[in-house]
Amino acid sequence: MRIGIDLGGTKIEGIVLDADGAERARLRVDTPEGGYEAGVQAIVDVIRELEKRVGGECTVGVAHPGAISPATGLIKNANSTRLNGHPLDKDLERRLGRPVRLQNDANCFAVSEASDGAAAGCGIVFGVILGTGVGGGVVIDGRPITGAQAIAGEWGHNPLPSPRDDERPGLRCYCGRSGCIETWLSGPKLQAEFERRTGRSLRATEIADAALGGDAAAGEQIELYCDRLARSLAGVINLIDPHAIVLGGGLSKIRQLYTRVPQLWKQYVFSEPELIVTRLLPPKFGDSSGVRGAAWLWPA
């Protein structure tokens, strides 16, 4: 059996999957107060407790924010900043006395959906997180692609492709550049632009619902969002030509994306427009994709 652990900002969640991918146990605890060492111990405690419940040693995979720098072996770019600068994989392996696989949480989302989720059976899968940030992960034949800098799939900090005049130079991004895809496609940025244009303060999914209800300004905003997403994903399709793209994060609940974006990307993808077979799919496992993908880091 396989254990998957998902390290969120405030919670440590663990799951046990059996050989068929069915859930056998689940445990969720608050991230303890205190520093890094307390956090590591809490992860180990969750693993031990799950193994006690299913009565045997399991493989262990961990989904974490940020990435393990191939250059230093230390976690970088994590928004749970106390992980940064530590060799979490080595520290867990030493305590558990066995190998542990770690991956960025967006990569785990992609692994989950490619293993037995929405994109099961697809060879090349791009998993997209559209939430407060914009991230992504690439999975080929069930395995996550990490890369030389451990940033494979981080398309959110590419510039928005084919910007219109009123999209240049774009907003400043926290990464130091301007006009990043994330500054156009994150939930907060969608909300902010709608508020700027209409004076109305709605969440991203509320704007989408209003559009479905016939609200013209909301409809325009969602159409603009779909076009920007189509441009951005066309760049991904041209590069890795995925069989499926699975959306995750809060904005993946916007139903219009799944019909409109594949219509719009025809004009941007370098292929015969009517013969594009890349599918754009909603996630199957939603909030469980972190723990499930972490468990599937040890494939059958």
Q: Which residue, 88 or 180, has its beta carbon nearer to Zn ion?
A: 180
Q: Which residue, 140 or 171, has its beta carbon nearer to Zn ion?
A: 171
Residue with tokens 């770019």: 77
Shortest distance, position 268 Cβ to Zn ion, whole Å: 21
Distance from C-alpha of 145 to C-alpha of 120, rounded to nearest angstrom: 17
When binding is defined by CB under 5 A, the residue of 124, 173, 236, 280 that contacts Zn ion is 173
The yes or no reply on residue 157 touching Zn ion (CB under 5 A) is: yes
Shortest distance, position 156 Cβ to Zn ion, whole Å: 7
Q: Which residue, 71 or 175, has its beta carbon nearer to Zn ion?
A: 175
The yes or no reply on residue 180 touching Zn ion (CB under 5 A) is: yes
Residues 6+ apart with CB under 8 A from 63: 4, 5, 6, 7, 102, 103, 104, 105, 107, 108, 290, 291, 293, 294
Shortest distance, position 151 Cβ to Zn ion, whole Å: 12
The yes or no reply on residue 175 touching Zn ion (CB under 5 A) is: yes
The yes or no reply on residue 181 touching Zn ion (CB under 5 A) is: no
The yes or no reply on residue 172 touching Zn ion (CB under 5 A) is: no
- Scanning 79-87, 169-177, 185-193, 267-275 for contacts with Zn ion by CB under 5 A, the matching segment is 169-177
- Scanning 12-20, 92-100, 115-123, 155-163 for contacts with Zn ion by CB under 5 A, the matching segment is 155-163
Helices (runs of H) and strands (runs of E) counted in the chain: 9, 12
Q: Which residue, 79 or 201, has its beta carbon nearer to Zn ion?
A: 79
Rg (CA), the chain: 20
Shortest distance, position 243 Cβ to Zn ion, whole Å: 28
The yes or no reply on residue 79 touching Zn ion (CB under 5 A) is: no
Shortest distance, position 158 Cβ to Zn ion, whole Å: 9
Shortest distance, position 193 Cβ to Zn ion, whole Å: 17
Show the tokens assigned to 157: 């900090």
**Cβ atoms of 144 and 135 closer than 8 Å:** no
Shortest distance, position 192 Cβ to Zn ion, whole Å: 16
- DSSP of 168-220, one letter per residue? SS--B-TTS-BSBTHHHHSHHHHHHHHHHHHS----HHHHHHHHHTT-HHHHH
The yes or no reply on residue 63 touching Zn ion (CB under 5 A) is: no
- Scanning 13-21, 178-186, 198-206, 237-245 for contacts with Zn ion by CB under 5 A, the matching segment is 178-186
User: Which residues lie near Zn ion (CB under 5 A)?
Assistant: 157, 173, 175, 180
